[in-house]
Amino acid sequence: MIFDINNFFEIKSFLHKIIFENFQQIWTPLEKLSNYLETANLKSNRRNIQIPSTCYIENPDLVFIGENTSIEPYVYIKGPCIIGANSEIRHGAYIRENVITGKNCIIGHATEIKNSILLDDVSAAHFAYIGDSIIGNRVNIGAGVKLANFRLDKNEICFYLNSEKIKTNLDKLGSIIGDDTQIGCNTVLNPGTFLEKNIKCMPSLNIGGYITKNSIIKNASSVAIKKSNSRVLKNEFTSKN
C-alpha cells in the first residue's frame, strides 16, 4: 500500500525533506532516520545560543542546535539529533537519540521525544510523550498527550483502512499526524495511528486507526449535570436522635 504524502504533509519548505524521498510507506522516513543522522553534518556553531550549565548533552558532537534556539535549565539531549532554528526546549525536556525537529518548534516541560520527526511550528509544550512518530507542520500536541508506540502484547503493529487490515511489519510505531491537526489534552494515540491534515481531536480520548482529513474526533457520550435537591440532601445528612 502506498500513501499519498499530500494528505499528510507539505514538505517543500522543510529543511530535511530529502528524508521523505522515495518512501515506500508513510512511516518509511522513520526507518531511514538513523542512517540520515549518521551521514548528516551535525557540527553546529550554535550561534546566539546559550546552554545552561544544568543542561546535559550526551554525545555533543552528534547534536545540532539551530540558531536562536532557547535551551532552558535541566534539559537532557542525547545525540544524534537535529534541533531546528528559533525553537524552545523548555525546562525538564528529554530529547533522546534519532530526533529531528524543524524550525519554530516547542518541546516543553517533561516532554519526551525519541526516534521521531517534527516538521515546522510543532508545539508539544507540556508533559507529552512522542515515540516513533512523524508530526506535521503547525500541529499542537496538548498537555498530557501520549503517542504510544509499542503494543502490550509485543506483536506487530497493524491498523484498519477501509475495513482492510494493514500490516506494518513493525513492532514499534507511534503516530503519523498531518499538518494543522490539534490533539486535545490527555489524549492517548494508540500504536499505528494515522491522522491526515486538519483534524481536531477533543481532549481525554483514546483513539487509533486511520482517520481522513478535516475530521473532528469527539466522545459520543455526553456528561449530564443535574441540580441537587437541597431538601433531600439535608435529610440524608441529618442524624436522628
To the query of whether residue 126 is one of the catalytic residues in this protein, the response is yes
Q: Are 130 and 141 in contact (CB under 8 A)?
A: yes
- CA 191, 196, 1, 34 torsion-angle sign: negative
Catalytic residue, from 16, 91, 109, 126: name it.
126
Q: Are 39 and 208 in contact (CB under 8 A)?
A: no
Give the single-character DSSP code of 144. Answer: T
Query: What secondary structure does DSSP assign to 171-218, as a single string?
Result: S---EEE-TT-EE-TT-EEEEEEEE-SS-EE-SS-EEEEEE-SS-EE-
Query: What secondary structure does DSSP assign to 89-120, as a single string?
Result: E-TT-EE-SSEEE-TT-EEEET-EEESEEE-T
Find the angle CA(78)-CA(80)-CA(83) to the nearest 5 degrees. 85
Pairing relationship of beta strands 81-83 and 146-147 according to DSSP bridges: unpaired
Q: Which helix (H) or strand (E) holds 160?
A: strand 158-161
Question: Which cell goes with 15?
Answer: 529543511
- CA 151, 157, 158, 159 torsion-angle sign: positive
Known catalytic residues? 126
